[in-house]
């Protein structure tokens, strides 16, 4: 738990960065820069994690050392006049009545610890980053038993115990000197990694031992010169060939967190660049120490070797213990890894001055010195302690003791007071210092009758409520006991359920049964008729599915899962279907939870008590938030059993979560999600979390889930034996046809339960799942797929696929190809369709493309798809641009479904239904008939080129004699686009500069990658797209190994992108990427400002083709070339007066 803040809201001073009773802020410039309560700022040293928030605009005084002041002024541009210098050995300064002095922190040059003494005599130490050394004891003597020690807890874990700095320095020196003596092995380049400042003692020691200069970049030299170390300054050179000892930047030799990953590629580049036979690198940090004594770890590859030197400028664990033991403060406040505060404080529990803290705390209750309990307050009897009721005006000692210690049990407080003979302070000491804290020993008195309103005398101990516990005591902190109690209570609950006649199968038995062909939907289920269906029924099935990749077994599990629901709890079937798919309603309703993964992570953290940092680390390893939740929640135990979740209750709460809106809705959503996760058990946790983030990943898609439901309905209505495969297949076909025409699960399930079959009927107002086309690889392939039948070549416009419904009564709705309701985005399109329709038409459903156009007195011209993608919801007439409808099919007309008619017939109906269509508003899609006696390939190629000249994406080849097949990707329609034709397609050579972590199967790999073009004019890499297709698993594995050697802390100064990938790479290789076309983007920055004043260019539908080892990153496709390719696209060509 993080330390509490001294204020709230925007005026917060985090506790670990403040000084109690003052407005002082230590190393908290970002958090408290605008805080009105902050009155003085202190900077311990010039490392980025401590001065974060400072810049040239900073206007408030800063107290720090001279070296730190110089560095901050040079690096950040902070005015030198704002620096108030305080150096070790200087006299104390009084600031706002507080005496402040500094002592050396033994960290980096200029690093200090701040010592504060308030006017009340309270003393506080802010160590900053510090490595404790016995030499500090003299300067810290007067600060022993300080009120609070704000401690650098970087290595506050017993595993972090490494040697002293002197030993590590000598190790580096010995390695360098020994290798220098081996002349026969040729020249060696020594590389020592470091931050901007820090590790200077190693530099000097190597220089003294070898007498050689030390190479550093001019920037590094400028920093080191400010440290006022004359010997070091004179040893530096900016000529890399003047010496074979180079100081390199941190991470140049490899990443150190969370484990060391050497960068041998970089080391080999150094070796070849300077023409040496070997390289020897040194990475000095405590993180790399692997506890192997004097033989420090190393990594080697050919002539390149790197040593992991446990040279740390932070205290090791043993030094932290020594520091706290010497100071013996009343309290330790960690300043690093504060999410692990409770765990870290356990290490110092016996080293701090708890008595002072208790006296201070108790005095606040007693109005001064702790008092001894009066005889009237505590009655000591042979059978046990007793307490009289308080007067109401003043709390009795039991009340005070419970408030001071956090005790919840009155009997425990009475017992302590009895041991202390009524002395309140002594009783508190017993609590804090005795084994009583870990094991409550309360004598079990005989039961006594208690009159109404009387004081409780001889209260029963907690252990008496549990039959399995021994009388006289119970270990409240024992997980083993918790499990025993939970098991006992669950057994009692199961026995009670059994007495009511309800069979209760173990989860493992159910999971084994649900996979079998002889599954019994009654006896193998987890519940009985009349009981609510448990959520564990779904979670157990999902978990069984996750254990296999066999499609038949997955289908069988889903089938059996639905069979039990149809038999025992038909009212929960609809909710179960939605929960299995991972939605809250029909596809077209698009009800979403609107709760992000970050919020769900907070819920998991709250439920499990695990810090957000540990959750992030686990997520990087697991790749799935549900798996992470199970990982931490499985270690929990509960004293009392949690009420089982039911399917209907879970679904109802998720619906309530989705409907939350208005002020405070985020908090209410989070509370519902937290409650659901807390109530989940076993596999329920995994799928509850996945439901909340709306990513189920159960290994079954929507189609297979619905097919299983259809088969389950056949079993449900079949009376004898099992239904035949033909009967099951017929049911699946009928179900799919009905669902694609009217994807309303509630209505379909209702018919399945009542009739065992569904009727296929299109309903205007409910979107039809659209028919899709199969892609082709080129003109010849497309013509071949058409066969011998007559077909048309229909222009494929660069717009948004739309299905427009006119219901009886006049309501018009627009749905996207994904069944999203887009009516509010295109009110103008609704009006245009009404105007074009025959007034006699009462209802219809048409399929069309909505395209952005620019109208003028001469006609209209087509605009790019990008113009539509940014269209706002609401009144499209207000600056949103014009649109045209290119209608190409009709599925329903005046109460009659037309989708089953031939395309040629549907086209005739379409013309009659839209007699008032207008150019630039509503038009029939342009099409070219391909006669049987023609050269089909040439005729189709000619049509394709004509469509491209007209500003279209390509062609749709459609057989005239075929029907419309909702929900199918049919070979009756063939898609022929420019990017499918190799001879018409361009590719880009781009550079990977970053990536995100993959999920699911790709967990632990990089996917997608962020690709960039090179702008030689601005000398920067500009992002173009994310790419995640075209890769094999082997490629992912090798890419992870390769880019692990080229990871960098953040984007380089010459990266220009609006993206924020999880990891960044150095620009080291070039890939060939092919895509559909180039479009304007608000995120990507290629050719930024050259086409659009505030946007760049991006590649749509990119896919990886191959690596280009023949090209360096600077030889990648330039932003000007991308701009030229964009301008060459014919998307902006005019279309005037074309025959419809």
Q: Would you state the pLDDT for residue 463?
A: 32
Q: How do beta strands 278-284 and 298-301 pair?
A: unpaired
pLDDT of residue 287: 65
* Structure confidence at residue 394 (pLDDT): 45
Please give the pLDDT value at position 403.
64
Q: Is it the case that residue 370 has pLDDT exceeding 60?
A: no
pLDDT attached to residue 818: 84
Cα 817 from Cα 134, distance rounded (Å): 72
What is the reported pLDDT for 793? 96
Q: How confident is the model at residue 1129 (pLDDT cuts 50, 70, 90)?
A: low
Check residue 360 and give its pLDDT: 65
Q: Rounded to whole angstroms, how far apart are CA atoms 146 and 137?
A: 14
- Any idea where the domains of the chain sit in the sequence? 9-159+318-348, 165-309, 372-449+456-474, 507-581, 597-697, 701-761, 772-980, 986-1131
What share of the chain in percent tops pLDDT 90? Answer: 46
**Is pLDDT at 875 greater than 70 in this prediction?**
no
Q: Which residues of 818-828 are buried (b: 16+ CB within 10 A; e: fewer)?
A: ebeebbebbbb
* The two structure tokens encoding residue 156: 């506050």
Whether the pLDDT of residue 492 is over 70: the answer is no
Instruction: Kindly report, residue by residue over 743-784, the tens digit of the pLDDT.
Output: 888 888 888 888 777 888 899 999 999 999 988 878 888 999
Q: List alpha helices for 500-534, DSSP H.
A: 507-513
Output DSSP code: residue 240.
T
Quickly state the pLDDT bin for 11 (edges 50, 70, 90): low
Query: What number is the average pLDDT over the span 564-586?
Result: 92
Once rounded to an integer, what is the mean pLDDT over residues 324-348?
Answer: 92
Average pLDDT (92-102) is 95
Peptide bond into 258 cis (omega under 30): yes
Report helix, strand or coil for 342: helix
What confidence score (pLDDT) does residue 407 get?
A: 64
- Cα→Cα distances 111→89, 103, 107, Å: 14, 9, 6
Q: Which of 497, 506, 372 is nearest to 428 (CA)?
A: 372
Cβ(458)–Cβ(383) below 8 Å: yes
| DSSP label at residue 756 | S
Note the Cα 576 to chain centre separation in Å.
27
Read off the pLDDT of residues 521-573 as tens digits, 9 standing for 90 and up.
Answer: 999 999 998 899 999 999 999 999 988 878 899 999 999 999 999 999 999 99
Please give the C-alpha separations between residue 1095 and each of 472, 612, 1118, in angstroms, as whole numbers.
Answer: 75, 35, 17
How confident is the model over 1045-1072, as a mean pLDDT?
A: 90
Backbone angles phi, psi at 969, to 5 degrees: -95, 95
Mean pLDDT throughout 987-1008? Answer: 87
| pTM greater than 0.95 | no
Query: Which range is least confidently modeled, 249-253, 563-567, 862-866?
Result: 862-866
Tokens of 97: 């009545």
**Mean pLDDT, rounded, of the chain:** 82
Do the domains 165-309 and 9-159+318-348 match in fold? no
Confidence of residue 444 (pLDDT cuts 50, 70, 90): very low
CB-based contact 64:43 (threshold 8 Å)? yes
Across-strand partners of 353? Answer: none
Question: Would you place residue 2 in the very low, low, confident or very high pLDDT band (cuts 50, 70, 90)?
Answer: very low
The pLDDT value recorded for residue 289 is 61
Looking at CATH, the fold of the domain delimited by 986-1131 is given as OB fold (Dihydrolipoamide Acetyltransferase, E2P) (2.40.50)
CATH number of 597-697: 1.10.3260.10
Can you name the residues that pair with 806 across neighbouring β-strands? 812, 844
Residues contacting residue 285 through CB under 8 Å, at least 6 positions apart: 256, 308, 309, 310, 311, 312
Min mean pLDDT across 239-253, 335-349, 439-453, 989-1003 is at 439-453
| Rounded percentage of the chain residues whose pLDDT exceeds 70 | 82
The CATH-assigned architecture of domain 165-309 is 3-Layer(aba) Sandwich (3.40)
| Contact of 758 with 741, CB cutoff 8 Å | no
276-331: pLDDT as tens digits: 999 999 998 876 565 544 467 888 888 999 998 888 899 999 999 999 999 999 99
Question: What is the model's pLDDT at position 1082?
Answer: 87
The yes-or-no verdict on residue 1138 having pLDDT over 80 is no
pLDDT computed for residue 431 by the predictor: 66
Cβ contacts of 49 within 8 Å, gap of 6 or more: none
| Tokens representing residue 169 in the block | 């320095």
- Distance, in Å, from the CA atom of 774 to the CA atom of 768, rounded to the nearest integer, reads 19
Longest CA pairwise span in the chain (Å): 117
pLDDT, residue 1040, reads: 92
The string of pLDDT tens digits covering residues 724-748 is 999 899 989 999 899 999 888 888 8
- Phi first, then psi, for residue 471 (nearest 5°) are -70, 150
pLDDT mean over 778-798 = 90
Q: 772-980 is classed in which CATH architecture?
A: 2-Layer Sandwich (3.30)
In whole angstroms, what is the distance from residue 524 CA to residue 509 CA?
8
Stronger pLDDT, 590 or 508, i.e. the higher one: 508
| Residue 295: predicted pLDDT | 61
| String of DSSP letters for 899-924 | TTS-HHHHHHHHHHH-TT--TTTEEE
Higher pLDDT: 392 or 627? It is: 627
**Higher pLDDT pick, 1050 / 396:** 1050
Return the half-sphere exposure (C-beta side, CA atoms, 13 A cut-off) of residue 564: 29
Q: Which residue has the higher pLDDT, 1002 or 347?
A: 347
Q: List 954's β-bridge partners, or say none.
A: 796, 977
Is 438 one of the annotated active-site residues of the chain?
no
Please, which residues have CB within 8 angstroms of residue 80's CB and are 6 or more apart in sequence? Answer: 69, 73
Place 979 in a pLDDT band, splitting at 50, 70 and 90: low
Tell how many helices (H) and how many strands (E) occur in the chain. 36, 46
R_g (Cα) of the chain, nearest Å: 37
Q: What is the pLDDT of residue 445?
A: 38
Marked catalytic residue, from 17, 199, 796, 822:
796
d(CA 865, CA 878): 19
8-state DSSP, 679: H
846-853 average pLDDT score: 94
Region 408-419: mean pLDDT is 70
Q: What is the CATH number that goes with domain 9-159+318-348? A: 3.60.15.10
**Range with lowest mean pLDDT among 116-120, 369-373, 510-514:** 369-373
Mean pLDDT for the stretch of residues 55-70: 94
Q: What torsion do the CA atoms of 736, 738, 744, 747 make, to the nearest 10 degrees?
A: -120
DSSP one-letter code for 720: S
Cβ neighbours, 10 Å, residue 698 = 23
Q: Between 232 and 623, whose confidence is greater?
A: 232
Residue 46 structure tokens: 């010039």
What confidence tier does 620 reach under pLDDT thresholds 50, 70, 90?
confident
Q: What is the pLDDT, as a whole number, of residue 258? A: 57
Q: What is the pLDDT of residue 513?
A: 92
């Amino acid at each position: 738990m993080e330390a509490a803040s001294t204020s709230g809201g925007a005026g917060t001073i985090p506790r670990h960065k403040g000084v109690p009773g003052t407005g002082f802020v230590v190393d908290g410039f970002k958090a408290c820069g605008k805080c009105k309560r902050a009155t003085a700022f202190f900077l311990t040293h010039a490392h980025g994690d401590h001065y974060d928030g400072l810049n040239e605009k900073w206007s408030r005084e800063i107290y720090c050392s001279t070296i730190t002041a110089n560095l901050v002024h040079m690096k950040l541009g902070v005015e030198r006049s704002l620096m108030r210098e305080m150096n070790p050995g200087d006299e104390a300064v009084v600031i706002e009545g507080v005496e402040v002095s500094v002592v050396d922190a033994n960290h980096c040059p200029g690093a200090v610890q701040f010592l504060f003494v308030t006017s009340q005599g309270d003393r506080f130490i802010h160590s900053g980053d510090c490595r404790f050394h016995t030499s500090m004891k003299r300067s810290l003597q007067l600060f022993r038993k300080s009120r609070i020690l704000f401690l650098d807890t970087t290595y506050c874990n017993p595993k972090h115990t490494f040697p002293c700095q002197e030993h590590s320095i000598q190790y580096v020196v010995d390695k360098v000197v020994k290798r220098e003596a081996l002349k026969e092995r040729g020249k060696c380049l020594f590389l020592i990694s470091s931050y901007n400042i820090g590790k200077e003692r190693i530099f000097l020691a190597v220089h003294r031992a070898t007498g050689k200069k030390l190479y550093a970049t001019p920037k590094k030299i400028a920093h080191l010169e400010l440290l006022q170390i004359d010997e070091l300054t004179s040893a530096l050179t900016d000529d890399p060939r003047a010496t074979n000892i180079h100081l390199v930047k941190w991470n140049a030799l490899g990443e150190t967190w969370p484990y060391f990953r050497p960068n041998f590629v970089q080391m080999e580049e150094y070796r070849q660049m300077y023409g040496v036979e070997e390289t020897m690198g040194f990475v000095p940090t405590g993180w790399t120490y692997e506890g192997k004594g004097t033989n420090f770890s190393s990594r080697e590859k050919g002539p390149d070797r790197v040593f992991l030197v446990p040279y740390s400028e932070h205290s090791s664990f043993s030094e932290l213990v020594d520091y706290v033991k010497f100071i013996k403060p009343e309290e330790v406040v960690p300043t690093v890894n504060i999410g692990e505060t409770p765990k870290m404080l356990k290490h110092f529990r016996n080293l701090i001055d708890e008595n002072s803290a208790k006296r201070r705390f108790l005095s606040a209750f007693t109005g001064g010195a702790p008092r001894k309990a009066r005889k009237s307050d505590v009655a000591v009897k042979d059978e046990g302690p007793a307490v009289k009721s308080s007067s109401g005006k003043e709390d009795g000692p039991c009340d005070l003791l419970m408030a001071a210690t956090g005790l919840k049990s009155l009997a425990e407080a009475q017992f302590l007071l009895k041991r202390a003979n009524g002395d309140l302070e002594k009783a508190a000491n017993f609590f804090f210092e005795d084994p009583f804290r870990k094991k409550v020993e309360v004598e079990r008195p005989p039961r006594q009758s208690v009159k109404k309103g009387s004081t409780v005398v001889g209260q029963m101990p907690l252990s008496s409520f549990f039959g399995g516990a021994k009388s006289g005591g119970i270990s409240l902190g024992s997980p083993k006991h918790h499990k025993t109690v939970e098991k006992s209570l669950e057994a009692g609950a199961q026995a009670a359920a059994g007495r009511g006649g309800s069979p209760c199968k173990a989860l493992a038995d159910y999971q084994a049964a649900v996979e079998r062909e002889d599954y019994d939907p009654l006896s193998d289920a987890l519940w009985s008729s009349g009981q609510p269906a448990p959520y564990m029924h779904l979670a157990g099935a999902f978990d069984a599915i996750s254990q296999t990749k066999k499609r038949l077994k997955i289908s069988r599990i889903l089938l059996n899962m639905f069979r039990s629901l149809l038999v025992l709890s038909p009212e929960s079937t609809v909710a179960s279907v939605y929960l299995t798919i991972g939605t809250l309603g029909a596809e077209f309703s698009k009800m979403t939870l609107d709760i992000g993964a970050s919020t769900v992570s907070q819920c998991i953290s709250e439920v499990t008590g695990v810090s957000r940092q540990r959750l992030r680390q686990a997520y990087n390893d697991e790749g799935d938030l549900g798996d992470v939740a199970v990982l931490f929640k499985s270690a929990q135990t509960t004293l009392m059993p949690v009420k089982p979740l039911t399917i209907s209750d879970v679904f109802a709460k998720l619906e309530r979560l989705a409907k939350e809106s208005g002020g405070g809705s985020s908090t209410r959503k989070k509370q519902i999600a937290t409650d659901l996760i807390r109530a989940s058990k076993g596999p329920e946790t995994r799928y509850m979390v996945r439901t909340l983030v709306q990513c189920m990943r159960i290994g079954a898609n929507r189609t297979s889930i619905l097919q299983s439901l259809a088969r389950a309905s056949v079993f449900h209505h079949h009376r004898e034996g099992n239904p035949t495969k033909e009967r099951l297949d017929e049911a699946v076909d009928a179900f799919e046809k009905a669902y694609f025409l009217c994807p309303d699960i509630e209505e379909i399930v209702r018919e399945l339960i009542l009739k065992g079959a569904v009727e296929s009927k299109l309903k205007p107002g409910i979107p039809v799942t659209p028919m899709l086309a199969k892609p082709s690889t080129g003109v010849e392939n497309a013509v071949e797929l058409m066969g011998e039948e007559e077909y048309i070549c229909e222009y494929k416009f660069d717009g948004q696929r739309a299905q427009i419904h006119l219901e009886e009564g006049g309501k018009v709705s627009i749905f996207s190809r994904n069944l999203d309701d887009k009516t509010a985005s295109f009110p103008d399109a609704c009006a245009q369709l009404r105007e074009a329709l025959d007034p006699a038409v009462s209802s219809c459903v048409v399929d069309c493309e909505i395209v952005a156009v620019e109208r003028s007195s001469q006609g209209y011209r087509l605009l790019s798809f990008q113009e539509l993608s940014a269209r706002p919801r609401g009144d499209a007439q207000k600056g949103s641009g014009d649109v045209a409808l290119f209608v190409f099919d009709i599925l329903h007309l005046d109460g009659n479904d037309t989708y089953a008619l031939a395309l040629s017939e549907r086209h005739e109906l379409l013309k009659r239904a839209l007699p008032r269509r207008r150019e630039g508003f509503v038009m029939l899609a342009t099409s070219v008939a391909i006669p049987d006696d023609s050269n089909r390939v040439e005729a189709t190629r000619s049509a394709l080129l004509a469509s491209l000249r007209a500003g279209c994406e390509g062609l749709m080849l459609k057989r005239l004699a075929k029907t419309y097949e909702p929900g199918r990707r049919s070979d009756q329609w063939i898609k022929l686009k420019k990017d499918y034709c190799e001879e018409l397609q361009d590719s880009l050579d781009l550079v990977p500069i970053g990536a995100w972590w993959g999920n699911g199967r790709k967990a632990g790999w990089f996917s997608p990658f962020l690709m960039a073009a090179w702008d030689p004019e601005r000398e920067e890499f500009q992002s173009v797209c994310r790419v995640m297709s075209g890769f094999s698993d082997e490629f992912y594995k090798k890419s992870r190994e390769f880019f692990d050697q080229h990871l960098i802390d953040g984007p380089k100064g010459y990266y220009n992108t609006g993206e924020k990938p999880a990891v960044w790479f150095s620009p080291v290789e070039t890939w060939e990427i092919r895509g559909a076309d180039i479009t304007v983007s608000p995120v990507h920055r290629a050719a930024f400002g050259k086409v659009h004043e505030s946007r760049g260019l991006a590649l749509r539908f990119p896919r990886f083709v191959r690596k280009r080892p023949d090209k360096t990153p600077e030889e990648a496709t330039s932003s000007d070339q991308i701009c030229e390719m964009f301008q060459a696209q014919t998307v902006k060509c005019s279309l005037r007066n074309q025959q419809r």
